[in-house]
């Protein structure tokens, strides 16, 4: 089946980036979210990011205009019924994701491929609660989506080969590179990246270094583009904690225990850039460490 219409669920930082890259690649995109504010903010963010690409002569003004025309938005999930491919990019909570697929299923064509952008949750388990586990897989973009080259493709235990190949071809049309990962907690990128971020938080918690010395050490000492605490704020501390919990529960090894300081920040509602406070305070002109 040719994939032309793509339905994206969740218009947060990942949903808006995913809509952006699909529209530039010529797909028709329908973006949905439970929040009207999130949809409005996503469309404004896509406009700004496309404009930045125009000003850097990466795309033309006409490509930007066409891409904006290809993106529609709706608060009604079932409007996505006509999609050839669904990419679920809502909050990293299994109950939310399972409910989205359950509500969507009766409205979909039988051949529609279902995917989740989850950072860590079992694809096999999400798939098993749908009517089409063979046409269900993980489609994991990296943040920021318009910039990062990688998409991790994750087969659930039942995913069939035509579905995997169809998603590989979509990644090629987006101009990105895919890697294949088996369906184990955190897949490849977050199995490796998130324990490093969690360890950086322990390093802060135990007083080994300050926020600034930890981030500077990894930026200048290991050539990382962002320090681990800055990156945690960028990803979202709620998402980081959710991923650590999936690694801890799924792999049953204490080496994955989430740092209590990470839990405390999330309990405070300090989720990083998206709430303007996390390891840094973003409310002023330049970010300032919060401890």
Ligand X SMILES: CC(=O)CC(=O)SCCNC(=O)CCNC(=O)[C@H](O)C(C)(C)COP(=O)(O)OP(=O)(O)OC[C@H]1O[C@@H](n2cnc3c(N)ncnc32)[C@H](O)[C@@H]1OP(=O)(O)O
Q: List active site positions.
A: 119, 140, 152, 190
Closer residue to ligand X, CB minimum distance, 114 or 235: 235
92 binds, among ligand X, ligand NDP, none (CB under 5 to 8 A by kind): ligand NDP
Length of the chain equals: 291
Are residues 34 and 57 in contact, defined by beta-carbon separation less than 8 angstroms? no
Q: How far apart are CA 41 and CA 28, in angstroms?
A: 19
Q: How far apart are CA 211 and CA 230, in angstroms?
A: 9
- Binding pattern to ligand X, positions 182-221, x when CB under 6 A? -------xx--x----------------------------
> Does residue 44 touch ligand X according to CB under 6 A?
no
Query: Binder to ligand X among 143, 179, 217, 245 (CB under 6 A)?
Result: 143
Percent of residues in the chain assigned helix, strand, coil, to nearest 5: 50, 15, 35
Residue 210, both tokens: 């300050």
Are residues 121 and 94 in contact, defined by beta-carbon separation less than 8 angstroms? yes
Query: Binder to ligand NDP among 239, 247, 273, 287 (CB under 6 A)?
Result: 239
Non-local (6+) Cβ contacts of 230 within 8 A are 215, 279, 280, 287
> Does residue 272 touch ligand NDP according to CB under 6 A?
no
Closer residue to ligand NDP, CB minimum distance, 15 or 133: 15
Closer residue to ligand NDP, CB minimum distance, 35 or 60: 35
Q: How far apart are CA 92 and CA 102, in angstroms?
A: 16
> Does residue 148 touch ligand X according to CB under 6 A?
yes
List the end-to-end C-alpha distance of the chain, in Å, as a whole number.
53
Q: How far apart are CA 29 and CA 5, in angstroms?
A: 6
Backbone angles phi, psi at 64, to 5 degrees: -60, -45
190 binds, among ligand NDP, ligand X, none (CB under 5 to 8 A by kind): ligand X
> Does residue 117 touch ligand NDP according to CB under 6 A?
yes
> Contact region for ligand NDP (CB under 6 A) — 13-21, 199-207, 246-254, 256-264?
13-21
In 62-104, at which residue ranges do the beta strands (DSSP E only) sit? 71-74, 85-88
Q: Is 15 annotated as a binding residue?
A: yes
> Contact region for ligand NDP (CB under 6 A) — 10-18, 170-178, 180-188, 248-256?
10-18
147 binds, among ligand NDP, ligand X, none (CB under 5 to 8 A by kind): ligand X
Going by C-alpha positions, the residue among 94, 76, 92, 99 that lies closest to residue 30 is 76
Q: Summarize the annotated binding site for NAD(+) as residue ranges.
A: 10-15, 33, 92, 97, 119, 143, 274
Residues at the contact surface with ligand X, assessed by CB under 6 A: 49, 52, 56, 58, 119, 142-144, 146-148, 189-190, 193, 225-226, 231, 235
């Amino acid at each position: 089946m040719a994939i032309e219409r793509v339905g994206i669920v969740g218009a947060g930082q990942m949903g808006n980036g995913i809509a952006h890259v699909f529209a530039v690649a010529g797909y028709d995109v329908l973006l949905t979210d439970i929040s009207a504010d999130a949809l409005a903010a996503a469309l404004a963010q896509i406009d700004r990011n496309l404009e930045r690409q125009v000003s850097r002569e990466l795309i033309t003004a006409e490509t930007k205009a066409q891409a904006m025309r290809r993106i529609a938005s709706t608060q009604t999930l079932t409007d996505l019924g006509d999609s050839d491919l669904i990419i679920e990019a809502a909050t990293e909570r299994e109950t939310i994701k399972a409910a989205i697929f359950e509500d969507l299923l009766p409205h979909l064509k039988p051949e529609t491929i279902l995917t989740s952008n989850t950072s860590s949750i079992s694809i096999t388990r999400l798939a098993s609660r749908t009517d089409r586990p063979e046409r269900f897989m993980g489609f994991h973009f990296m943040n920021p989506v318009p910039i990062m080259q990688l998409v991790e493709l994750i087969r659930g235990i039942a995913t069939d080969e035509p579905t995997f190949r169809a998603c590989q071809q979509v990644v090629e049309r987006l101009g990105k590179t895919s890697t294949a990962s088996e369906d184990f907690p955190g897949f490849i990128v977050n199995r490796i990246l998130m324990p490093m971020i969690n360890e950086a938080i322990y390093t802060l918690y135990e007083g080994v270094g300050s926020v600034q010395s930890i981030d500077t050490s990894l930026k200048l000492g290991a050539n990382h583009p962002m320090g681990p605490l800055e990156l945690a704020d960028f990803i979202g501390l709620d998402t980081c904690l959710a991923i650590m919990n999936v690694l801890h529960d799924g792999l049953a090894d204490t080496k994955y225990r989430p740092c209590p300081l990470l839990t405390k920040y999330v309990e405070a509602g300090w989720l990083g850039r998206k709430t303007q406070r996390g390891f840094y305070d973003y409310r002023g002109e330049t970010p300032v460490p919060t401890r």
